[in-house]
Amino acid sequence: MKTREIAITNLPDRALTQEHFALREVDLPTPGPGEVLLRTILISIDAAARAWLQGATYRAPVRAGDTMPCYALCEVIESRAPGLSAGDLVGGETVWADHAVVPAHQLQKLPPMSPLTHHMSVYGIAGKTAFHGLLSVGRPIAGETVLVSAAAGAVGAYVGQIAKALGCRVVGVAGGAEKCAFVTGELGFDACIDYRDPGMFKALRAACPDGVDVYFDNVGGAVLETALFAMNERGRVVCCGAISQYDSAAASGPRNLPGLVVVKRLRMEGFIVMDFARQDAAALRALKTWVENGQIKVTEDVIEGLENTPAALIGLLAGENRGKRMVRVGPDPKRGKDTA
Do 87 and 41 contact (CB within 8 A), yes or no? no
DSSP assignment string, 244-262: TTTT-SS----SSTTHHHH
Task: Calculate ∠ Cα 145-149-154, nearest 5°.
Answer: 115
**Mean residue pLDDT across the chain:** 92
The arithmetic mean of pLDDT across residues 183-211, rounded, is 96
H helix intervals, 143-194: 156-165, 177-185
For position 242, what pLDDT does the model report? Answer: 80
Lowest mean pLDDT among 165-169, 231-235, 243-247, 275-279: 243-247
For position 252, what pLDDT does the model report? Answer: 66
- pLDDT > 90 fraction of the chain, expressed in percent and rounded: 81
For position 309, what pLDDT does the model report? Answer: 97
For position 199, what pLDDT does the model report? Answer: 92
Residue 338 has pLDDT above 50, yes or no: no
Q: What is the DSSP letter of 226?
A: H
Amino acid identity at 216: F
Query: How far is it, in rounded angstroms, from Cα 203 to Cα 198?
Result: 9
Residue predicted with more confidence, 250 or 156: 156
Question: Rounded to an integer, what is the distance from CA 128 to the centroid of its chain?
Answer: 10
pLDDT tens per residue across span 229-263: 999 999 999 999 887 666 555 556 788 989 999 99
For position 332, what pLDDT does the model report? Answer: 77
Residue 198 has pLDDT above 70, yes or no: yes
Query: How far is it, in rounded angstroms, from Cα 270 to Cα 261?
Result: 14
Other beta carbons less than 10 A from residue 260's beta carbon? 19
For position 337, what pLDDT does the model report? Answer: 43
pLDDT tens per residue across span 109-147: 999 898 999 999 999 999 999 999 999 999 999 999 999
Residue 335 has pLDDT above 70, yes or no: no
Helix (H) or strand (E) holding 287: helix 280-292
Single pTM value for the model = 0.89
Spatial neighbors of 13 by CB under 8 A, at least 6 apart, are: 249
For position 194, what pLDDT does the model report? Answer: 97
Residue 45 has pLDDT above 90, yes or no: yes
Residue 175 has pLDDT above 90, yes or no: yes
The arithmetic mean of pLDDT across residues 174-201, rounded, is 95
Residue 104 has pLDDT above 50, yes or no: yes
Helix (H) or strand (E) holding 312: helix 309-317
